[in-house]
Chains A and B, each alone.
Chain A
């Protein structure tokens, strides 16, 4: 998983919450609500995929403050 993918995971979750609120509010056109619903489904599929495909990333900071040597290992 790349870093920006991870970030967007949280964005995806908040978008899903936003969609839920929008659809609840009943203030949008019917056609738009169908579109939102489809977007919601697409996002949730993406969320579930990235969760299931994720591999834990471990970064070891060896030399305290400055020297950030990265060591990745999959667990």
Chain B
């Protein structure tokens, strides 16, 4: 023992450091995450373990931003990195360069863990879900602006209810920073006045592509949205955490826009049948009035001398006839007038005609069809396809 060379702690430690760091510059390691701690600085600290052992790991801010999922304790992952030794503490750790789930099943597990946790917290509660508004005139959309999802939504809105305004925030929906981008868009849309509904979503893709919608921060942003949210991610079979938190889940972006808008042709049909119904109830009203007058005459007749009745009966009958038929004629006229106008509207696509270069001149709220009908000296307006011009002052040549 005596002839053993004595060295310092530092000497030993630096020798260990050299040995370890030279030999383990590139290690791929499989293990289960435990004690995962994302620090406010952006760095991640955690341990990787199996049944027999564990190793401390760090993953620095700029590096971990490339990981598409948020790690959770219990998840099995594969990491690649190098072993480093920190002499002041005399410990060693793995400096992680890349991280991926050990398998798709691991992502599924991660999904289930988060789902269970948020469910317990009440984020999915049915009582919390708000109805989507009846006839929203302004809808906010968070999705990729060049994606199929947005194209689909625009075409559905244009076909079903073109009176609606779509406010879109171009949003990154997959890959690095996607979850943050979705959160930012939801927050921003909440600040836009008059938006009554928000749709978040994207088209189909792999489980990794859709992963941003499974992130806790997205779930919380949806939960905290002042405005009702429809979540429409991927295809019919894809369920994400945001689907569970959202007020309504739509199977696809197309379905989301169909839920959000009413069909204008359906609406027009309803309006027309309402008018028809109003006409009918008015006709019935007229009939009732006529019966009442008849009844009145009859009961009155039983109480006055017959001579007086005979003198006046004819006059009353005549008056009643004039009153009711007069109203009925007016009703019929208005009704057929409406039908004509609706017909004219259907046969005549005004905007197409205007597009060709025709102009509509209006005065006193009416279209002027003939030059001689124009009242000189009074203001009039000219409606072009793209705009309307008001003319207030001019001189006749």
Contact = CB atoms under 8 A, between A and B. Distances in A.
Nearest to A51: B264
A59 B165 contact: yes
Interface in A12-36: 13, 16, 19-20, 23-24, 26, 30, 33-34
Contacts of A75: 154-155, 158
Contacts of B119: none
Nearest to B141: A58
Given A23-B281, A61-B167, A51 B192 contact: no
Nearest to B339: A41
B349 interface: yes
B155, B164, B286: which has the most chain A beta carbons within 10 Å? B164
Q: Which of A1, A33, A55, A56 has the most CB of B within 10 A?
A: A56
B28 interface: no
Interface residues of A, number: 42
A61 B350 contact: no
B164 A41 contact: no
B109 interface: no
Contacts of A58: 154, 165-166, 168
B135 interface: yes
B282 A59 contact: no
B285 A16 contact: no
Given A13-B135, A30-B285, A37-B331, A57 B278 contact: no
Given A37-B282, A52-B345, A61-B192, A9 B275 contact: no
Contacts of B188: 61, 64-65
B74 interface: no
Interface in B320-377: 327, 330-331, 334-335, 337-338, 341-342, 345, 349-351
B272 interface: yes
Interface residues of B, number: 52
Interface in B134-152: 135, 137, 145
Interface string B228-267: 0000000000000000000000000000000000001001
Max count, chain B CB within 10 A of own CB: residue among A23, A24, A50, A64: A64
Interface string B143-183: 00100000000110110011111111110000000000000
* Most central of A19, A49, A61 by chain B CB within 10 Å: A61
Contacts of A41: 275, 334-335, 337-338
B152 to A, nearest CB: 12
Contacts of A10: 135, 137
A30 B272 contact: no
Contacts of B164: 56-57
Contact of B137 (A6, A45, A51): A6
Contacts of B162: 51, 54-56
Contact of B282 (A23, A52, A60): A23
Contacts of B335: 41
Given A45-B338, A60-B168, A61-B169, A16 B271 contact: yes
B327 A30 contact: yes
A62 B170 CA distance: 7
Contacts of B345: 45, 48-49, 52
A34 B330 contact: yes
A53 B351 CA distance: 6
Nearest to A44: B271
Contacts of B289: 30
B145 to A, nearest CB: 7
Contacts of A37: 278-279, 282, 331, 334
A13 B135 CA distance: 10
A1 B264 CA distance: 16
A51 B268 CA distance: 8
Given A34-B327, A45-B341, A59-B165, A19 B278 contact: yes
14 contacts: A10-B135, A37-B278, A40-B274, A41-B334, A41-B337, A47-B267, A48-B342, A57-B165, A59-B167, A61-B168, A64-B184, A65-B187, A75-B154, A75-B155
The 5 closest A-B pairs by CB, nearest first: A54-B162, A56-B158, A54-B163, A57-B165, A44-B271
